[in-house]
Amino acid sequence: MPGNIQSIERAAAILRLLSGRTRRLGVVDLAGELGLPKGTVHGLLRTLQHVGFVEQDADSGKYQLGAALLHMGSSYLDGNELRTRALNWSDSLATRSGEAVRIGILHETQVLIVHHVFRPDDSLQTLEVGTLLPAHATAVGKVLLAHNPYLATELLKDDLQAYTAATITDPERLERELRRVRAQGWAADIGELVPGQVAYAAPIVDRRGLTVGAMGIFGPPERLLAARQPRGELLVMVREGARSVSRELGAIPW
């Protein structure tokens, strides 16, 4: 039997330390704990970051366990379970906003619609549950990509397809957009998938702090935009709705 591979052992030791009480450690802390040169630890961290097993906190520069690793450790949230838990809040969002509601989860690099509430105006509408939508051209998709850097990278390996003139097809622009979505806590799609359709979405977070889905509304610009900008009161409803679902899933109340 060949000997153990030293770099994997060292990487595992880093992950163990990051899963400990402090959770966020800098290169110096880790190097000290492991008794290794800073340069070696930094190299290991860069590789772990690349595969999504660790993430670097933008403000402090410290490292923490990455989403990809957390996804592996616990089964992802079943879409049918998410719909059941979200039912009251999605109905409430449709009632308050007067618009159709949808909830999506990532299915590889696309968005799978797991729940759809009709716009409450009794017009003819068809249930969209089970539909796959392109992630980069939808508000729900952009929220999910913004919180899943690994899949965002995967998506950017191929050309981004244009669905309308407004679809973001430039990879750098999409990366900027995802950073913005992550920072502001919501995403908008203004005619990027279907001309004349506007959508907003906000993240649904579970008790581990992972973004497991996104909930939002969609409708015509005449109702969803004011002076070509997202209407603040609708954004508030979407974000509150998504927060309520997150609370239902056991995310820390905030």
Partner 1 sequence: MATMVKNYVAAVDQGTGSSRCLIFDGSARLVALAQKEHRQIFPRPGWVENDPEEIWRNVEQVVQTALDDVRLEVSDLVALGIANQRESTIVWERDSGRPVHNMISWQDTRTDQLVREIAGSAGPDRFRERCGLPLATYFSGPKLSWLLDRLPGLRARAQTGDVLFGTMDSWLIWRLTGRHLTDVTNASRTLLMNLGTLDWDQTLLDAMGVPRAMLPEIRPSSEVYGEVRGGPLRGVSVAAALGDQQAALFGQGCFSPGEAKCTYGTGSFLLFNTGARPVMSSSGLLTTPACRVGDEPPTYALEGSIAVTGALVQWFRDNLTLIGSAPEIETLARSVQDNGGCYFVPAFSGLFAPHWRSDARGVIAGLTGYITKGHLARAVLEATAWQTREVVEAMNADAQMSLSMLRVDGGMTANNLLMQFLADVLDVPVVRPLVAETVSLGAAYAAGLAVGFWPDTEALRANWHKAAEWLPKMDPELRARGYRKWRKAVARTMDWLDDDDEE
Could you tell me the smallest distance in angstroms from the CB atom of residue 134 to partner 1? 22
Judged by beta carbon, residue 4 or residue 126, the one nearer partner 1 is 126
Strands (E), the chain: 54-56, 63-65, 100-107, 110-117, 132-134, 187-190, 198-205, 211-219, 225-226, 229-230
Could you tell me the smallest distance in angstroms from the CB atom of residue 113 to partner 1? 11
Q: Taking the CB of residue 65, how many other CB atoms lie within 10 A of it?
A: 18
Judged by beta carbon, residue 121 or residue 172, the one nearer partner 1 is 121
The total number of residues shown for the chain amounts to 254
Q: How many residues bind partner 1 (CB under 8 A)?
A: 23
Cβ neighbours of residue 238 under 8 Å, at least 6 residues apart?
93, 97, 186, 200, 201, 202, 215, 216, 217
Q: Among the residues of 78-161, which ranges form H helices?
A: 79-97, 139-146, 149-156
Judged by beta carbon, residue 102 or residue 142, the one nearer partner 1 is 102
Judged by beta carbon, residue 190 or residue 217, the one nearer partner 1 is 217
Could you tell me the smallest distance in angstroms from the CB atom of residue 120 to partner 1? 4
Could you tell me the smallest distance in angstroms from the CB atom of residue 234 to partner 1? 16
Could you tell me the smallest distance in angstroms from the CB atom of residue 93 to partner 1? 11
Judged by beta carbon, residue 112 or residue 146, the one nearer partner 1 is 112
Could you tell me the smallest distance in angstroms from the CB atom of residue 164 to partner 1? 28
Token pair 């630890």 is at which residue? Answer: 41
Establish if 26 lies at the interface with partner 1 (CB under 8 A): no
Residues 102-161 that bind partner 1 (CB under 8 A): 116-118, 120-122, 125, 127, 129-130
Per-residue b or e along 178-197, where b marks 16 or more CB atoms closer than 10 Å to that residue's CB: beebbeeebbbbbbbbeeeb
Binding mask 59-98 for partner 1 (x = CB under 8 A): -------------------xxxx-xx--xx--xx-xxx--
Judged by beta carbon, residue 127 or residue 162, the one nearer partner 1 is 127
Q: Among the residues of 19-124, which ranges form H helices?
A: 27-34, 38-50, 67-73, 79-97
Could you tell me the smallest distance in angstroms from the CB atom of residue 22 to partner 1? 32
Judged by beta carbon, residue 125 or residue 161, the one nearer partner 1 is 125
CA distances from residue 89 to 76, 103, 128, 184, 216 in whole angstroms, order as listed? 21, 11, 18, 22, 11
Helices 27-34 and 6-18, axial angle in degrees (round to 10): 120
- Binding stretches for partner 1 (CB under 8 A): 78-81, 83-84, 87-88, 91-92, 94-96, 116-118, 120-122, 125, 127, 129-130
